Structure 1
Amino acid sequence: MKTRQLRQQVERILDDYPQRTVSVILQGDPAGLQEAIARAAREALQLRAVTQAADLLPPPAPERRLLAERPREARGESGPLAEVRRAGTAALQPMQEAAFLNNSRLARRSDERGRPRPLPLAGAAVMEMDRDDLAQLPTALPGALAVFPNRRIAVPPRLKAKQLPPEVARRSTHTWGLESCGALAAWGGFDARGQGVRVAVLDTGVEAEHPDLRGKVARFAEFDAKGRLVKEGVDQAWDADGHGTHVCGTVAGGNASGRWIGMAPEARLLVAKVLGRNGGTDEQILKGLEWAVANGADVVNLSLGGLSFEPGVLDTYTAAIVSARAAGVPVVAAIGNDGAQTTGSPGNDFFALAVGATDVHGRVAAFSGGRTQVVESSDAIELADLPLVYAKPDLSAPGVHIYSCMGKGKWEHLNGTSMATPHVAGAIALLLSRTGATRKGAALLELGGIERSEALVQLVLGSVRDLGENGQDHRYGYGGLDALAAYGNAVGLGYLPRP
């Protein structure tokens, strides 16, 4: 069965990429991956019956503790992250030892282009393969779970806002998104401002000395097209486009312009530059995700992606996102800017928390992507659980006329699902804020691994304001982000203490 799927994937890559040498991602089989996918297939069937978002809220914290099969562990080398790394390394081993890969034409050239480049978080490896070698892959390497093209990913377009609606322009002390999402109320009601939280932003980089971001970038790393770390350190930070700086501002920016712009202004940023002026590769993004999780990210923001019309479970980012969530780190991703009936990868991955864009009136933006995904065949899913049907995005957030910082110490209004996504990542940072009241005894902060990431996703989705059709639809998701309601539900369910 796996051989047949591999053959189909190889044939598609050979059809789509006519060049002699093709860069591919070879996916191994990390422990727990197929179990997670099988569980997701069963959950997707249950979710289709959900008629109101509140049904998605997690069980009360005491019940979650009783249901836990093992003690909660702090993230770190002895906790879930170490387990994820061990599983990924084990999945890589068969590929690293495969004589077929080591004897390929490119490998015999004795330079690094012929050796698989490991992606331990995903249990995958990347290498450039000759077309003839790639054609032999299904029979020569049957232990591989899947093979994907290492695509080029374009820099998300900077969709500049034109004339501002009066409802946007009149908010001179804060952005309309902070008010609409309830962030301002969460600051005042719960003193939740992202204290002690690390938000990873994988993008075009960051202008760390921007007045609204100065002192907020905790770490910076730059990766090249082959996933190699080429720069590291906040003093090396730069932005190739301005897009990443704008996203960082919506996560954690202050009010240097006289207007509050960031959802969690006391959060710290881990910025991985994975896109240059000409874009980047899937490998770069996966390396950035790996770096973010290893460096203690609490949530990852992916305001990027490539247009994709075909759902996949397993897909290019599935294993990495599953592993990140197993380590307690939810991955928030933009659904894309190509309009209705389109999605972008990785936002369309079942395990990503995908975000669409709305305007100041609560209407979905025309450019915002979304569609119902139908997976009719997959070697990773039991036949009885097929077809797997799920809708994306999962929720929507402010993404039109979003004011945030840009390069050269400036500010600008931009449109895009890229602008909506950091509102959601910032809302998760608010839930994880280590305030005076929550530093000790907060169940949400004590949770580890998959329990932690699932609770965060459930609190965010279960607290949305229903927009569009009743329940989930492929334009608004389950509804519009409400950070204040999410925090209130976390308190009511015992995940956070009462103020």
Structure 2
Amino acid sequence: MKLKQQVERLLDEHRQRTLSVIVQGRPQGLRETLARAAEEALQRRALTSATDLLPPHVKEREQRRRARTAAQYAASVDELRRAGSAAIEPLQAAAFLTGSRLARRSDSAGRPRPLPLAGAAALEIDRDDLAQLPQQLPEALAVFANRHIPLPPRLRAKTLPPEVERVVTHAWGLEACGALACWGAFNARGQGTKVAVLDTGVEASHPDLRGKVAKFAEFDSKSGLVREGVEHAWDADGHGTHVCGTIAGGRASGRWIGVAPETRLLVAKVLGRSGGTDEQILKGMEWAVANGADVINMSLGGLSFDPGVFDTYTAAIVAARAAGVPVVAAIGNDGAQTSGSPGNDYFALAVGAMDVRHRVAAFSAGRTQVVESSDAIDPKYLPLVYAKPDLAAPGVQVYSCIGKAKWEHLNGTSMATPHVAGAMALLLSRTTATKKAGADLHALAGSDRSDTLMQLLIGSVVDRGENGQDHRYGHGQLAVLSAYGHAVDRGYLPPP
């Protein structure tokens, strides 16, 4: 959507005098990335088999077999921050913004609040000033409402079918997604990996999570760091603890609950008891990438009825993937023909929910998304049409830990999403075989790394719905054992 149209829409939809907005700059490489995405979307429309999306054999990449060092990762993150900061500089220096009374109050320096990973800045702005923004600030690529993101619902499962009740050694989703088989066949349990969870926080002292939270940070609604350190970890609701349990939990209850029980967790508390803001979540993403996350899990989002998407999160997700960090997000819990942001962003790996009988949950969202116009995309690629979700995972009657050292069965795409994030940790596990023989998957960096992880998971699904991608299952059901097998067959991982 053109900048002027975005401003007009914001003014129509929000009647208050002062608006909280996120102004998107023009990070280097964003336009080229969107152009490649448009070409990819056009090619995907003709696909009927998910296996066509598997990555090529590693030999075809001509990738040098060299492990990515911590120093190299830090350098790539610094480069992304510099690019984002450069995109923000014209916004921060613009007299139009710095001279405004509301902008001067937005932080101590009298400048908009920077979000370097996204190459964006957040601020409060007067309606009259916002109306002039397209003419006064042509450096801006887009402007979005800094939305309030509601607290994800804790949808308790009131009754359990026999198929769930009789599984007493593990949560049913671990078997359904292939995690248990992956442990046995490849000894992959998430060793040496870090999964970032952006949510309501975590009860780090829970018996199933004790010692598994590597870092914790809490951000306020204006992206300020409130506190940091595992000793300060807490959960405003229990939702984040349940998500963390599905990724990394053990068997303190007598049942295995975590897909990757040996991964470490980086937890950013970006939602409080009343929810959070887009700005808060974007800051959490930046923190996760800076702290070495291998994958970001976002079981959160705001409902969207509009199929048109050029989203608040696009630039941040593109930057995360450029750092080698895929973003896994829930598609939403409002049913068919709806979707939630950031899950409906083209670059996010969106997850729908299914039950123990392989049926998609009625609440699981999904639809066709359309980008009709954008200053960031060449008109020849418009309209850009794509479908969401990308795949489905166990999200009904999911057993995991909650606050106060308890456990509970919950429903939601929030519960499905950590199965996929955990599956990525399994693919990246530092097993005995990978330590001995090396692993080309571990040697990949940047977009090659994040794209390959996503391609392995999407290309290995079990097609449960229509032939090809649909609005309910996406491409199909998560099958991490098959994904690991494809990674071995195509040379990305060594055989056990």
Q: TM tier, shorter chain?
A: over 0.9
In 2: Cα distance, 1:32 partner to 1:355 partner: 27
- Residue equivalent to 1:37: 34
Contact 1:468 1:476 in 2 (8 A): yes
String of CA shifts for 1:152-174, please: whole Å, max 9, x gaps. Answer: 00011111101100000000000
What does residue 445 of structure 2 align with?
448
CA distance change for structure 1 residues 265 and 108 in 2, over 3 Å: closer, same or farther? Answer: closer
Measure how far apart 1:106 and its partner are. 1.4
Structure 1 counterpart of 2:320, one-letter code: A
d(CA) in 2 for partners of 1:455, 1:414: 31
Runs of 5+ unmatched residues, structure 2: none
Tell me the secondary structure at the aligned position of residue 87 of structure 1: helix
Cα offset, 1:11, TM superposition: 1.3
Instruction: Quote the residue 1:460 is aligned against.
Output: 457
Q: Counterparts of 1:82-97 in structure 2 under 5 Å?
A: 82-97=78-93
Instruction: Identify which of 409, 412, 415 aligns with 1:416.
Output: 412
Q: Does 1:227 align with 2:218?
A: no
Corresponding residue for 1:183?
179
| Counterpart-to-counterpart distance in 1, 2:79 and 2:41 | 26
CA distance in 2 between counterparts of 1:255 and 1:421 reads: 20
Which of residues 205, 210, 222 is equivalent to 2:206?
210
Tell me how far apart the structure 2 counterparts of residues 113 and 106 of structure 1 sit (CA, whole Å).
Answer: 12
**1:40-84: per-residue Cα shift (whole Å, max 9, x none)?**
001001001111111010001111125x8x998546466432321
- How far does residue 8 in structure 1 lie from its aligned partner after superposition? 1.0
User: 2:437 aligned with 1:438, yes or no?
Assistant: no
Give the Cα separation in 1 of the matches to 2:128 and 2:81.
32
Decide whether the 8 Å contact of 2:393 with 2:419 is kept in 1: yes
Alignment of 1:330-369 (within 5 A): 330-369=326-365
Letter in 1 for 2:461: V
- Structure 1 distance, partners of 2:389, 2:147, is 22
Give the Cα separation in 2 of the matches to 1:73 and 1:445. Answer: 7
The aligned residue for residue 289 of structure 2 is: 293
Alpha-carbon shift at residue 468 of structure 1 (Å): 0.6
The answer (yes or no) to whether the contact 1:113–1:127 under 8 Å persists in 2 is no
CA shift, 1:108, in A, is 4.8
Q: Which residue of 1 aligns with 2:9?
A: 12
Q: Secondary structure at the match of 1:106?
A: helix
Conserved? CA contact 2:309–2:369, under 8 Å: no
* Residue deviations 1:164-192 (CA, integer Å, cap 9, x gap): 00000000000110000110000011000
1:89: how far off?
1.2
Residue pair 1:357, 1:396 contacting (<8 A) in 2 also: yes
Q: Give the letter aligned to residue 59 of structure 1.
A: P
Partner residue of 1:496? 493
Structure 2 match to 1:247: 243
Q: After TM superposition, give the deviation of residue 314 of structure 1 in Å.
A: 3.0
Q: Which among 108, 113, 119 is matched to residue 123 of structure 1?
A: 119
1:35 maps to a residue whose letter is: E
Judge which range, 14-23 or 121-130, deviates more. Answer: 14-23
- Please, which runs of 5 or more residues in structure 1 have no aligned partner? none
Q: Does 1:308 align with 2:304?
A: yes
- 1:139-154 to structure 2, matched below 5 A, reads 139-154=135-150
CA change 1:216–1:384 in 2 (3 A) is same
1:92-147 deviations in Å (ceiling 9; x for gaps): 11111111111012145586495200000000000111111111111110100000
Shift of 1:29: 0.5
| Equivalence for 1:257 | 253
Conserved? CA contact 2:66–2:443, under 8 Å: no
Distance 1:92 1:255, change over 3 A: same
The answer (yes or no) to whether the contact 1:299–1:428 under 8 Å persists in 2 is yes
**Shift, 1:20, TM fit:** 1.3
Q: Secondary structure at the match of 1:391?
A: strand
- Give the counterpart of 1:196 among 192, 196, 205: 192
Give, in angstroms, the shift of residue 253 of structure 1: 0.2
Amino acid at match of 2:404: K
- Pick the aligned partner of 1:174 from 170, 186, 193: 170
1:403 pairs, out of 399, 403, 423, with 399
Over 3 Å counting, the alpha-carbon distance change for 1:446 and 1:262 in structure 2 is same
Following TM superposition, by how much is the alpha carbon of 1:311 offset from its aligned partner in structure 2, in angstroms? Answer: 4.1
Is the 1:58–1:458 contact (alpha carbons within 8 Å) kept by the matching residues of 2? yes
Residue 387 (structure 1) aligns with: 383
Cα-Cα RMSD = 1.6
- State the secondary structure of the residue aligned to 1:356: strand
- Is residue 2:159 matched to residue 1:163? yes
TM-score by length of 1: 0.97
Bigger shift: residues 108-117 or 44-53: 108-117
Q: Give the letter for the 1:151 counterpart.
A: R
1:434 is aligned with what amino acid? R
Partners of 1:95 and 1:312 in 2: how far apart? 26
Partner of 1:429: 425
Q: TM-score normalised to the size of structure 2?
A: 0.97
Distance 1:22 1:108 in 2: 15
Q: Which moved more, 1:154-163 or 1:330-339?
A: 154-163
Q: What is the match of residue 482 of structure 2?
A: 485
- 1:427-460 C-alpha deviation (Å, 9 max, x unpaired): 0000000111112520000111010001000000
Farther-moved stretch of structure 1 (154-163 vs 73-82): 73-82
Distance in 1, matches of 2:431 and 2:66, equals 25
Change (3 A) 1:78 1:109: closer
Q: Quick one: distance in 1 between partners of 2:192 and 2:67?
A: 20
Match of 1:211, SS state, is coil
Distance 1:363 1:291 in 2: 36
Q: 1:363 and 1:215 mapped to 2: Cα distance?
A: 35
- After superposition, give the CA deviation of every residue in 1:254-306 in whole Å (9 maximum; x if it has no partner): 00000000000000000000000000000000000000000000000000000
Q: Given residue 21 of structure 1, which amino acid in structure 2 is its aligned partner?
A: T
Contact kept, 8 Å, 1:442 with 1:496, in 2: the verdict is yes
SS of the residue 2:471 aligns to: coil
Measured after TM superposition, the shift of residue 201 of structure 1 is 0.2
**Distance in structure 1 (CA, Å) of the matches to 2:205 and 2:109:** 37
What is residue 64 of structure 1 aligned with on the other side? 61
- Give SS of 2:493's match: coil
> Secondary structure, in 3 states, of the residue corresponding to 2:91?
helix
Aligned-pair identity in percent equals: 74
* Contact 1:199–1:297 under 8 Å retained in 2: yes
